[in-house]
Structure 1
Amino acid sequence: MKLLLPSLILAATALAGSIAQAQTAPLPPGVTRVPVTFSGGHDTDPRDHGRPVILIGSALGVTAEIFRDAFSGVHPVGPGRGGPSREEAQANKKVLMDKLGKYGITNDRLDEVSNFYRYPPGSRDLWKHTPAVANALVKNGAVTGFEIVSGGAGYTTPPTVTVPGISGVNAKAEIAFGKKFETNGSVSSIKLEPAK
């Protein structure tokens, strides 16, 4: 444990330094930073009953459609049962692996991804996610652009971007998906759109 502590401190210091650098990079004269607010961005397809299928599929390296097709043969346990029996769980796992195994997905990886994005169905809780952090670049009371400090993770749809104190900003966030949990469903860019 003593050997790991210095490397953990160095890693945390490096991360803090890179965030501080993004926030203190020189700006053109008259331009200021205003932290933006992100809201929403966790919508799911009605067919998926609240499951973040786009995140699960991306983490597994397949499309949402492929995972959705594989999951269509699974028989979830009804409410009040306290979970599937051992036989039911094995049958459901076999259905998934029969469809997903041909894409190089192992049982261990399926378990890892499923557990990472699991959350209590019917609750207001979400799967694991990290909010994005960004600044609006403002000059003479108008937004001229954006800088992303951290893209976050766990967004399934583009979040709404607002700039506190400035109305009429039409900004559009884009999100990116991939196999890494820490960047799957992250805000990859924020663009100013023409005023409506």
Structure 2
Amino acid sequence: MKLWLLPTCAAASLVLAIGLLALGKAEKPEDYPLTFTEGHDIGKDDHGRPCVLIAAALGVKTEVFREAFSGVTPAKNGKPSGEEARKNKDALMKVLKPHDVTNDRLDEVSNYYRFKPQDGELWKHKDAKAHAVVENGKVTKVVVTETGAGYSSPPKVTIKGFEKVELTVTLLFDKDLAKNGSIKSIELKK
């Protein structure tokens, strides 16, 4: 190898890289996929609805939506009559209107998160995607490539090959339905 033909900086960099490789200290970073499970919990006081997502999309606190929903009388057969539907809507709007929630927005959000759990359905959601960067056998950071949406609780996240590494997931709740319940961050627990 003719290092004397290379400019001084390039020669020094090459010598350093060869030296580090010889010592085994210049391992190329690798990406390891993350696996997401769960994250679609419904609270015991939520009567089968993802209240945290609905409330965020309406721009109110979860407790406000729960209060509004406490005035709703579910239909016995799951299909309310016109009169039952009107009474339920009035009960919801009585609590939500003072928080600047319109009837149209309530309909939009309610329809977006409507689902039939008895048929094995889940509300609209999008799975997140991420990978961990591993250098010299250690996880150095997590990179979220798709934030997903529709998580009502932080999902469990594991790194393939590094299952013992603990991660903390933070969610973003937002009025924007495409961002609501998305991954805000995934941090390594210290």
Sort the TM-score into its range (normalised by shorter chain): 0.7 to 0.9
Match of 1:164 among 157, 160, 163: 160
Q: How many matched pairs?
A: 165
SS at match of 1:46: coil
Contact in 1 for aligned 2:159/2:165 (Cα 8 Å): yes
SS at match of 1:174: strand
Structure 2 alignment gaps of length 5 or more: 1-25
TM-score, normalising length: structure 2: 0.83
| Counterpart-to-counterpart distance in 1, 2:78 and 2:59 | 31
1:150 aligns with 2:154: no
1:58 is aligned to 56
1:188 is aligned to 184
| Counterpart-to-counterpart distance in 1, 2:78 and 2:73 | 14
User: Which one-letter code corresponds to 2:146 in the other structure?
Assistant: S
Map Cα deviations across residues 121-180 of structure 1 (whole Å, 9 max, x no partner): 434311000000111011122211101111100001111111112231111111010000
2:9 is aligned to none
TM-score, normalising length: structure 1: 0.81
Runs of 4+ deviating beyond 3 Å: none
After TM superposition, give the deviation of residue 71 of structure 1 in Å: 0.5
1:114 aligns with 2:110: yes
| Counterpart-to-counterpart distance in 1, 2:71 and 2:124 | 25
Q: Please list, as runs of the form range in 1=range in 2, the aligned pairs for 1:56-95 lying within 5 A after superposition.
A: 56-78=54-76, 81-95=77-91
Task: Work out which of the two has the higher radius of gyration on C-alpha atoms and give 1 or 2.
Answer: 2
SS at match of 1:144: strand
Q: Please list, as runs of the form range in 1=range in 2, the aligned pairs for 1:24-39 lying within 5 A after superposition.
A: 30-39=28-37
2:20 is aligned to none
After TM superposition, give the deviation of residue 32 of structure 1 in Å: 1.2
Structure 1 alignment gaps of length 5 or more: 1-27
Match of 2:43 among 39, 42, 45: 45
